[in-house]
């Protein structure tokens, strides 16, 4: 750390320079009065630095925090790892660029894991901008690192269909009712890997990356619950994870919650398939745990400071 600060002295200088007016304010007005009238832009600045500095540090040094996979991450990993080459899996990417920062690492790790296992991947989305998320992931993982996988034989992009849960309801019994072509406009019957697929019930696993409605809850309600043989694992945003915990483990076999879940799952995938020097694009979750740590610590400090102020004011008022 000391070496990093010495090397990046200019950054340390800018960091200190931006906080000098705040320190002067504390020195002139006193700590407690300055905190009482603290402009919220100082908080914004602190949050800015608490996110930027770890990103820069991890970017320069490549160091990440060690991660211990939780039982849920291990269950998610095991669900995919137990499958045999050629088994069909449905990957539904139900998120948009707003939650890309939180969900893209797990989407990348899911596709990498499926590609390593040589599973047949059927991509789809219930969100209008999902196809872009899906295409970016395919380009990043399959096109770049698994060029031997053939479109139409090893993976297919079914694209987006409007209707939210109604789409799930239909494709669980008859996929061809809704999907007559893939996203490229090729007729379903002309796609080799679609020939034997008539419904989602034939999938060995459904993998859902979800940012809200329609997403994991709908997959649980309209696919995993009425058809208990369908197995479902999901990666969700931090906000959504507590809402789907009640479905674990019977309706939802594995759950990755936010960046923490992504980092745990990434570790499992990279330990198993990453080799000695994995590409940083497969370590995005682990890398993003750094800014998350500092930002969380900042929030805790802010809450503590605010409560110290609150109790001090209360005591003063009583006296």
Partner 1 sequence: MKRTVPMLITAAVGFTLIGAYFVPYTQNWGESVAIWFDVLAAIAFILGGGNLLRTHLKRISDQGRGWGYSAIVLVAFVATLFVGLGKIGVAPSPQFPDHAWSGQYRQTGSAFWFMYQYAFSPLTSTIFALLAFYIASAAFRAFRAKNLEAKLLLGTAFIILLGRTFAGVALTDWIDPANWDGFRYFTGLRLENLTVYIMAVFNTAGNRAIMIGIALGIVATSLKILIGVDRSYLGKD
In the complex, the residues that contact partner 1 under the rule CB under 8 A are 38, 40, 43-44, 46-48, 51, 65-68, 70-71, 96-101, 129, 131-132, 135, 161-164, 166-167, 169-170, 173-174, 177-178, 183-186, 238, 241-243, 245-246, 248, 257-258, 260, 289, 292-293, 295-300, 302-303, 305-307, 310
- Of 166 and 273, which CB lies nearer to partner 1 in the complex structure? 166
Calculate the alpha carbon distances from 104 to 80, 96, 122, 257 in Å.
Answer: 18, 10, 18, 12
Nearest-approach distance from CB 213 to partner 1, in angstroms: 13
Closest contact distance (angstroms) between CB of 47 and partner 1 is 4
Closest to partner 1 by CB, 49 vs 146, is 49
- State the minimum distance, in angstroms, from the CB of residue 83 to partner 1: 26
Nearer to partner 1, 157 or 208 (CB): 157
DSSP-derived pairing of the beta strands 88-94 and 155-160: unpaired
Shortest distance in whole angstroms from residue 116 CB to partner 1: 26
Token pair of 84 as six digits: 């045999």
Q: Which is nearer to partner 1, 86 or 311 (CB)?
A: 311
Q: Is the dihedral of CA 143, 171, 86, 233 positive or negative?
A: positive
Contact 167, 126 (CB under 8 A): yes
CB of 43 to partner 1, least distance (A): 5
Identify which of residues 62 and 86 has a Cβ nearer to partner 1 in the complex.
Answer: 62
- Tell me if 289 sits within 8 A of 263, measured CB to CB: yes
**One-character DSSP codes across 76-121:** HHHHHHTSPTT-EEEEEEE--GGGHHHHHHHHHHHHHHHHHTT-EE
In whole angstroms, give the CA distance from residue 130 to residue 162: 11
Name the residue with tokens 């930002």: 295
CB of 195 to partner 1, least distance (A): 18
CA distances (Å), 294 to each of 47, 298, 301, 302, in order?
A: 9, 6, 10, 12
Q: What's the rounded Cα separation, in Å, for the pair 267 and 278? A: 11
Residue 200 CB, nearest distance to partner 1 (Å)?
A: 12
């Amino acid at each position: 750390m000391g070496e990093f600060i010495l090397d990046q002295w200019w950054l340390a200088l800018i960091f200190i320079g931006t906080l000098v007016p705040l320190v002067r304010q504390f020195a002139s007005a006193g700590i407690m009065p300055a905190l009482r009238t603290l402009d919220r832009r100082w908080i914004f600045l602190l949050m800015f630095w608490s996110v930027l500095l770890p990103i820069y540090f991890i970017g320069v040094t490549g160091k990440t925090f060690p991660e211990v996979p939780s039982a849920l991450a291990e269950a998610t990993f095991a669900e995919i790892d137990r499958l045999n080459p050629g088994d069909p899996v449905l990957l539904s990417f139900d998120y948009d660029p707003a939650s890309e920062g939180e969900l893209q690492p797990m989407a990348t790790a899911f596709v990498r894991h499926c590609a390593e296992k040589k599973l047949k991947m059927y991509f789809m989305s219930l969100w209008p901008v999902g196809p872009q998320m899906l295409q970016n992931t395919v380009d990043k993982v399959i096109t770049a690192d698994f060029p031997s996988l053939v479109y139409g034989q090893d993976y297919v992009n079914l694209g987006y269909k409007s209707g939210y849960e109604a789409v799930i309801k239909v494709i669980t019994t008859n996929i061809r009712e809704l999907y007559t072509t893939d996203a490229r406009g090729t007729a379903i019957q002309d796609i080799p890997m679609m020939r034997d697929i008539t419904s989602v019930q034939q999938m060995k696993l459904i993998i859902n990356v979800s940012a809200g409605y329609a997403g994991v809850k709908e997959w649980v309600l309209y696919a995993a619950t009425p058809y208990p043989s369908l197995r479902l694992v999901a990666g969700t945003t931090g906000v959504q994870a507590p809402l789907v915990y009640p479905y674990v483990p019977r309706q939802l076999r594995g759950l990755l919650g936010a960046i923490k879940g992504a980092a745990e799952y990434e570790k499992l995938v990279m330990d198993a398939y990453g080799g000695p020097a994995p590409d940083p694009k497969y370590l995005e979750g682990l890398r993003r745990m750094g800014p998350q740590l500092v930002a969380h610590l900042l929030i805790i400090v802010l809450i503590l400071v605010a409560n110290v102020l609150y109790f001090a004011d209360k005591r003063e008022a009583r006296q």
